[in-house]
Amino acid sequence: MSHEAAIREPLIFGETNYSVITDEICAPAEAKPTKHWYIGFTIAMLTLCIGIVSFYYEVTHGIGSWGLNKTIGWGFDITNFVWWIGIGHAGTLISAILLLFRQDWRNSINRSAEAMTLFAVVCAGQFPIFHMGRVWNAFFTLPLPNDYGPLWPNFNSALLWDVFAISTYFTVSIVFWYTGIIPDLATLRDRAKSKTRWHIFNFFSFGWTGSIRQWNRFELVSLILAGLATPLVLSVHTIVSFDFATSVLPGWHTTIFPPYFVAGAIFSGFAMVLTLLIIARKVMRLEKYITIGHLEAMSKIITLTGTMVGIAYGTEFFMAWYSGYSYEQFTFINRAFGPYWWSYWIMISCNVVSPQLFWVRKFRRSPIFIFIMSIFVNIGMWFERFVIIVTSLHRDFLPSSWAMYVPTWVEFGMFVGTIGLFFVLFFLFAKYLPVIAIAEVKMIYKKTTHGKPAGAYHGEQDYDQDKAYELAAAAHGHGHDEHETVGEHHH
Amino acid sequence: METTNKYWKGLEELHHDADFEKNRMNEFAEKLPLSKVLKEDDLELSSNRRDFLKFMGFGITAATLAACSRSPVKNVVPYINKPVEIDPGVANYYATTCGGCNARCSLLVKTREGRPIKIEGNAESPFSKGGVCAVGQGTVLNLYDLGRLSHPVVNNKAADWKAIDTLASSALSAGGAIRLLTGTISSPSTKAAIETFIKKYPNAKHIQYDAASASAIIDAHEQGFGKAVLPSFNIANAKSLVSVDADFLGTWISPVEFTKQYTSARKVEGGKPEDFLFHFQFESTLSLSGSNADHRATLSPSQIGAALVRLHNYVAEGTGGAQAGSSSLELAGNSIKMAATHLVKNKGKALVICGSNNPDHQALVASINSMLGAYGNTIDLDNPSYQYQGNDKEMIALVNEMNAGTVGTLIIHDCNPSYTYPDAKKFNDGLAKVKTSIAFSTRLDETSERCTAVAPTNHFLESWGDDMPKAGYISLYQPSISPIFNTRAAEESLLLWAGISTTYDEFVKKNWKENFYGGGEYKNFEDFWMHSLERGFISMESKNAKSYSFNGNLASAAKVAAESGDIEVVIYEKVAIRDGRDANNPWLQEMPDPISKVSWDNYAAISPKLAEKLGLNDEDVVEIKAKGSNYSVKLPVLKQPGQKYNTIAIAKGYGHNAKESATYKVAAGIGANAYPFATVTDNALIFGGQTVTITKTGENYPLAQSQTHHHMEGRDLVRETTIAEIANGSYYKEMEKKEKEESSLRISLWQDYRYPGHQWGMAVDLNACTGCNACVVSCQAENNVPVVGKDEVRRRREMHWLRIDRYYSISEEGPKEIYHDKYKELDKLGAENKLGNYEKVKVVFQPIMCQQCSNAPCETVCPVNAISHSSEGLNQQAYNRCVGTRYCANNCPYKVRRFNWFNYALNDKFKDYPMQTDLGRMVLNPDVTVRTRGVMEKCTFCVQRIQVGKLDAKKEGRALKDGEIKTACQQSCPANAIVFGDMNDPNSEISKLLENKRTYKILTELNVRPSVNYMSKVRNSNETIA
């Protein structure tokens, strides 16, 4: 076991021991849902219903119920798809890459981040399916054996690569997530008070007993899956970006897209993780485990990726100028100053300008500020996809075909509906399953609290982590023996 | 080992109970209590729960089994006795004559299994030469219009023919003046029938009336030359042409014929540069002709007289003729003087035409042409045109006569004065005073609904007949389908009422035998008749066109009225809707206007400068009120570059308001009627020039525009040059340089496709193309392209596979760019520039269809392989495979792909359009799939025609001939602008055109290698004549 320097901010605060951790994390899953949960769940369900109505309307009436036209073939549909897929990326990054890099702080957020990934991919998947004019023939995109020749899908098409990329991504993510949750399901089983509950969790925990051999294999599988999932973080959004990059359209046909899309995906994904966790830690009283330090770490990643995205925007402009290709130059000028200028500037201000505020330490340690920023980033990243898709399409080569795109209620309904679907799934997850990986948090318990009860740092639930940490750090800075003084100082 | 055990189900079985034995073989041991169950004395089933479940089970099982059976068999019944000429799957072509407008072009009608499905031009005709305009293409759809009258009507009630005949004979013999009001009758046989009728009823008189009247031209020629005829014009002979308010390429007299002539006078290859026709156009609103002109200047309707006087006097100066009055009017850039100088310089090869219906104006034009020596060269008075014979004076007299109550019987045929007559109220009042009025009409229009009886007539595709659009040229009608409804030829009725009971076809034949058969090469009349029918027309020897000199009186013409300075109304015809008779045709309504690109509406076109002055924007609804008559309409504004300041242009043919809603199902509620803005003087119907006031209503009405951005943004799409640059070779040098640059870009990592057999290609000569849109409608008819309606066009979802892009440009002293977008104001650059310069706008057209790229961007992106590349270079869309991701459309640089947003063939939203009625579906081309919702479609290069051509050649065991396969757009093009053929055949026309230095491809830098080529537009420039 590695040893954490005391200068590091602890990853768990509050009076804690193993049993307390178990109790606290299992509590929401074992108690009756709170009033807040019911209210939230109802709202999410209603929003989902809007989506169901909209999807139904689209399938029965035709794509004509959207605002697309002969010039603009994709609008909200693919914008939403790319947005949701991007959001999913943070979960995989946290669970896989950070695991491989032994970033222990990920342990208390990886479960919910991974769940978010799954739900985001579920939401994302709806759009490529339902954007098809003949959704009932969607299976044509699968390489199924058939009698027509046989007739295979077109392996040249980036859309087909999407089919593989996303299905792979979903499969690996769900296996990884489920593998991680098995020990916790067993914990819930062991704590079950009713026979039914015991049976259910027993079934889903695959008979986990917690033997050394099982733990050993659990760790191995986790590592292998992390190894498998790591390239996916890069590949999925790379392939999604190929939808655009392999086309001939100015504004789409850009080699910078793969890294730019991946950075953007992580950027938006972390924003969504933050949006969810800032609420969850408050409502479910998990501030001890999801600490200000966690939020700050994620804010830093947002600043990093946001800046990368900003550089990508600049590079695009540079390349347009440097290439001397007038169509491309026009596209970029049109983006910033054409009829959709507002979407471009929303994107710039949300994605490039606002994350820079996180350079101020105070801001990146304020949950409310981070929450607002995370919403900004989500909006900005949605507009980034909108800008890429719509502004490139609406004025391309032949000015005679230039047109405008105005979405209809059906498109709004579908978008809102997937947000509803996402939250319905998240609410169910938060209610029925442990939102924090109990076993993994326990792994870091010892090292992060330096062998002392975590309680040494703390007191109340809404305890000022900043202050505690500062005091602790100050004490350390004064040359006190870290093992002795940190706790004392506080007391 | 055999078992000795005995098995039994019950004691009854064991003991062989008699009752049991009796019933054991039955399926149900006990009798089913069916009577009990089904007894419903008190409406209560007597069955209990278990029975209910049994019945349910039985019911479901039975229903399931029943559902497993095949659906009812629908038999397709083949011909029992197959007509000799009909082979299922093989098209037959019949020669006939177009009834779309008065020009009467010769046609070939394509029929399949007895249904006319497509109009093609008759290439042998010396006038239309295979061209058909958009209206002509649309006529086949009128045949299948549910708005047609399907039965006789007497006193607004359905009746039979006997009732009409009885009514007619009693009315005709009742005394009182009999008047026969018709549109232009250019048919010799109809004329003979009318003469027969008049012989029987000597108190009858025949009056001809045209909604778009050429009466003034006839008057002027009567006055000036003693010949009351509409002359034939020959633009092909001209080197200098001045058109004053005559849209001869779009709507005036005989547009297809004129387009053919115009194109041949502006040949770049095979013609001398100095012979290249110079075209001046002076007009109020930007017309199709004006958009093709070399030099265009605007004038308001009230300035026409002054402009003509000025032109007359300049020409008189140059030719030594007599002056007529005086006028100091000059149009922008000394246009009148410039035109006059050029005309005089080309004396004998000069022509002035004028669209005004004012006899004074036409007298001046006749005098100018006479001074220029046009008569005998570019104008033919000896072989006149019979296309327009309407006589305004007689019509005005008739309306007065009707109002005086002296008309006993009025028979109306082929005209709709209650809608088109400028003083329709007076006409209607008069009509009410006529004792018996009988209308021959194909529909219950505004006029026929006011008549005592309506005798439905045949559509021209159901008719026999003939037509003499020009002296010496007679085109025949033969039906390509038997009458769909209970209709009868008007001539047959007239003959019947005149006491001659014969079918009209017999009458025509008799008439021909007596008048046109001259033996010659034919064995007998029958031989002559069959040959004529097959060919579609006969040409008789034409007379020599003699020279005439004008000796009319120009005194009244020379008086130039003072301009009012108020806003004047301009009444014009649109290329698709023309005078409004085919307004109910969804193809024509959906065809975008070549200039404004608006479909499905008329609107108030005003100049951007006037709009600014009045604080108006596109789509603001204004009320336009005539100062004279107080007639007012509400119409949306469209800022039209090229429009004369202080004028407002409104198209005729809209705002139909027949009471019977079925009559104009498509046209009803579209636009407003412009005819009442015209004025009736003592001797003429004057269109345009009435002063109006414009008031903003505050409402907004979105127009359905298929193109909203009008500037080419400096992109290399339409290449334009001048004939001078062609002559001195500098343009060709420039093209060679560009070609060199482009060929250096043609590198590829991949092996190119090989096309071992044919490789289809197309060339579009932008110099020939006038932008008339005939190809657009032709394509729609050929390829079952759905009509989507106003709302969907507003959403920019029109389905046309072939569109004509139109760009404005300004080359002289005006703003360099026009930034006109629906969402950005027209005038981004206007602030620093004089808005007035938008009057001096130039227009270029570019037909865009699928470019059938060799490196097609659409093919690679389709995830399901729905687009394949054929071995002949076509990008083939497999509808059945398409799942509708629209990725291909996004990736198409030419934006030619069209997505089926709805199921146009079944969706209720589109129920008024042809695909949704049994009758309308008859027009569908069985060789082309009707596409379902959610699939992508596009131009196929008429692959069905390619297939037919290849099969024909194969059957005959020969190689395919160049030109044998013609795409639909190519076939009907009045300008011969489109050439299609095999690029692998070195001797084909297309291969030769590829060598032409004017030929280029667009967006070559993408290396998509399109198969469609364009040829640079060539204009005369002012410098040519300076």
- Three-state secondary-structure class, residue A211: coil
Contact B652, B285 (CB under 8 A): no
- Count A/B contacts: CB-CB distance under 8 Å: 168
Closest Cβ opposite residue A397 in set B710, B822, B893: B893
Q: Quote the minimal CA–CA distance from A387 to chain B in Å.
A: 15
Q: Do A70 and B798 touch (CB under 8 A)?
A: yes
- Facing B881 at nearest CB: one of A64, A69, A140: A140
CATH no. for B215-385? 3.40.228.10
Does the structure show a pLDDT above 60 at B828?
Answer: no
Average pLDDT over residues B536-543: 87
Query: Which tens digit of pLDDT belongs to each residue from B304-363?
Result: 988 999 999 999 998 888 888 888 788 777 889 889 999 999 989 999 999 999 888 999
Tell me whether residues B891 and A248 touch, CB distance under 8 A: yes
Give dist(CA A41, CA A35) in Å, integer. Answer: 10
DSSP three-state, residue B893: coil
User: Quick one: closest CA in A to B896, which residue?
Assistant: A70
Residue environment code for B349-382, b if the CB has 16+ CB neighbours within 10 A, otherwise e: bbbbbbbbbbbbbbbbbbbbbbbbbbbebbbbbb
Restricting to B residues 846-875, those with a Cβ less than 8 Å away from any Cβ of A are 846, 848, 857, 860-865
Greatest mean pLDDT among A177-186, A462-471, B40-49 lies in A177-186
Q: Is the CB of residue B894 less than 8 Å away from at least one CB of chain A?
A: yes
Give the pLDDT band of residue B991 (cuts 50, 70, 90). Answer: very high
Q: How far is A412 from chain B (nearest CA, A)?
A: 18
Contact A69 B797 (CB under 8 A): yes
Residue B3: which pLDDT band, with cuts at 50, 70 and 90? low
| Shortest Cα distance, chain B CAs vs residue A425, angstroms | 28
Interval B757-776: pLDDT, tens = 899 999 999 999 999 999 99
Quick one: pLDDT at residue B795?
92
Bridge partners of residue B437, in order along the sequence: B410
pLDDT, one tens digit per residue, over B131-142 is: 999 999 999 999
Closest CA to A326 of B848, B741, B743, B714: B714
A interface test, pick of B785, B895, B938 with most A CB neighbours within 10 Å: B895
Q: Given this model, what pLDDT does residue A1 score?
A: 42
User: Given an 8 Å threshold on Cβ–Cβ distance, is B863 in contact with A157?
Assistant: yes
Residue type (1 letter), B567: I
User: What pLDDT was estimated at residue A229?
Assistant: 87
Strand, coil or helix: what is A428?
helix
Percent of the residues in chain A that have a pLDDT greater than 70, as a whole number: 87
B315-327 pLDDT tens trace: 999 888 888 888 8
How far does B123 lie from chain A, in Å, by closest CA?
A: 33
Write down the residue that tokens 């066109």 correspond to.
B545
Check if B618 contacts A (Cβ < 8 Å): no
Read off the DSSP letter of residue B838. Answer: G
pLDDT of residue A460: 43
How close, in Å, is residue B258 to chain A by CA atoms?
Answer: 28
CB contact under 8 A, B709 and A402: yes
Measured between CB atoms, does A151 come within 8 Å of chain B?
A: yes
Say what the pLDDT of residue A402 is. Answer: 92
> Which residues of B, range 651-670, sit inside 8 Å of A by Cβ?
none
What are the backbone angles phi and psi of residue B133, rounded to the nearest 5°? Answer: -85, 180
| Domain parsing of chain A, residue ranges | 1-16+449-491, 18-142+155-448
Please answer yes or no on whether B895 and A154 come within 8 Å at the CB atom. Answer: no
- Chain A: closest CA distance from residue B768 (Å): 20
Contact B883 A140 (CB under 8 A): yes
Classify strands B204-208 and B177-182 as parallel, antiparallel or unpaired: parallel
B865-900 residues labelled b (16+ CB within 10 A) or e (exposed): bbbebbebbbbebebebbbbbbbbbbbbbbbbbbbb
Whether B707 has its CB under 8 Å from any CB of chain A: the answer is yes
Query: Which pLDDT does position B453 carry in this prediction?
Result: 93
Q: What are phi and psi of B499, to 5 degrees?
A: 90, 10
Q: Does B689 touch chain A (CB under 8 A)?
A: no
For A266-320, how does the pLDDT look when each residue is reduced to its tens digit (9 = 90+)? 899 889 888 988 888 888 777 777 888 888 888 999 999 999 999 999 999 999 9
pLDDT above 60: residue B827: no
Give yes or no for residue B1025 having a pLDDT over 70: no
Cβ A71–B898 below 8 Å, yes or no?
A: no
**Hey, are the CB atoms on A63 and B882 less than 8 Å from each other?**
no
| Probe site for chain A from B596, B864, B879, B939 (most A CB atoms < 10 A) | B864
In this structure, what token pair is assigned to residue B17?
A: 């109970």
Q: Give the three-class secondary structure for B1018.
A: strand
Contact: B717, A398; criterion CB under 8 Å: yes
Q: From residue B863, how far is each of A75, A123, A236, B851 by CA, in Å? A: 19, 21, 17, 21
Average pLDDT over residues B229-239: 92
Q: Specify whether domain B153-211+390-461+482-514 bears CATH 3.40.50.740.
A: yes
| Structure token digits, residue B647 | 């004028």
pLDDT at position A112, please? Answer: 84
User: Quick check: B933 and A62 CB within 8 A?
Assistant: yes
Higher pLDDT, A31 or B141: B141
Chain B residues touching A401 at Cβ < 8 A: 707, 895
From B705, which residue of chain A is nearest by alpha-carbon distance?
A403
Residues B821 and A339: their CA atoms lie apart, in Å, by: 10
> Taking 70 as the threshold, does the pLDDT of residue B707 lie above it?
yes
* Residues of A with Cβ-Cβ distance to B886 under 8 angstroms: 63, 68, 73-74, 131, 133
Cis preceding-peptide flag for A150 (omega within 30 of 0) = yes
Average pLDDT over residues B934-955: 94
> What is the pLDDT, as a whole number, of residue A8?
64
Residues 254-313 of A with CB under 8 A from B: none
* Mean pLDDT value of segment B623-636: 90
Q: What is the mean pLDDT of residues A194-216?
A: 90
Instruction: Tell me what pLDDT residue B50 has.
Output: 82
Model pLDDT, residue B520: 78
Average pLDDT on B974-980 reads 93
A481, pLDDT greater than 50: no
ipTM of the complex: 0.88
Instruction: Give the residue-averaged pLDDT of B813-822.
Output: 39
Look over chain B and give the mean of its residue pLDDT values, rounded to a whole number.
88
Give the pLDDT score at B41.
54
pLDDT at residue number B948: 93
Same fold across B153-211+390-461+482-514 and B555-705 = no
| pLDDT for the residue numbered A280 | 82
Can you give the pLDDT at residue A480?
Answer: 40
CA distance B424 to chain A (A): 41
- Confidence (pLDDT) at A486: 38
In terms of Cα–Cα distance, which of B751, B441, B863 is closest to A152?
A: B863
Q: Considering only B59-68, B419-428, B611-620, B969-978, which range has the smallest mean pLDDT?
A: B59-68
Helix, coil or strand: residue B772: coil
In this prediction, residue B652 carries a pLDDT of 92
Query: Which residues numbered 780-819 in B keep a CB inside 8 Å of some CB on A?
Result: 792, 795-798, 803, 805-807
Would you state the pLDDT for residue B45?
57
pLDDT tens by residue, B581-617: 889 999 999 999 999 999 999 999 998 888 888 888 8
A73 touches chain B (CB under 8 A): yes
Please give the backbone phi and psi of residue A339, each rounded to the nearest 5 degrees, phi first.
-65, -20
Q: How many percent of chain B have pLDDT more than 90?
A: 57
Residue B644 pLDDT greater than 80, yes or no: yes
CA distance A8 to chain B (A): 51
The predicted structure's pLDDT at residue A453: 45
Give the tens place of pLDDT for each residue, B554-573: 888 888 777 777 899 999 99
Give the model's pLDDT for residue B822. Answer: 34
Domain residue ranges in chain B = 11-68, 153-211+390-461+482-514, 215-385, 555-705
Distance from CA of B742 to the nearest CA of A (A): 14
In whole angstroms, give the CA distance from residue B115 to residue B91: 10
Tokens of B46: 């007597």
The position carrying tokens 């659906």 is B71
Closest Cα to residue B756, out of B859, B870, B609? B870
Q: For A117-132, write each residue's pLDDT tens digit.
A: 999 999 999 999 999 9
In this prediction the pTM is 0.87
- The pLDDT, as a whole number, for residue B825 is 37
Cβ of B864 and A154 within 8 Å?
yes
Q: Check CB contact of A132 with chain B, cutoff 8 Å.
A: yes
Q: Which residues of B touch A326 (CB under 8 A)?
A: 714-715
Residues of B in contact with A399 (CB under 8 A): 709-713, 715, 807
B933 and A CB contact within 8 Å: yes
List, for residues A140-174, the tens digit of each pLDDT value.
999 988 888 878 999 999 999 999 999 999 999 89
Residues of chain A contacting B861 with CB distance shorter than 8 Å: 156-159, 246-247
Write the class of the CATH domain B555-705: mainly beta
Nearest to B805 among A131, A137, A398 (CB): A398
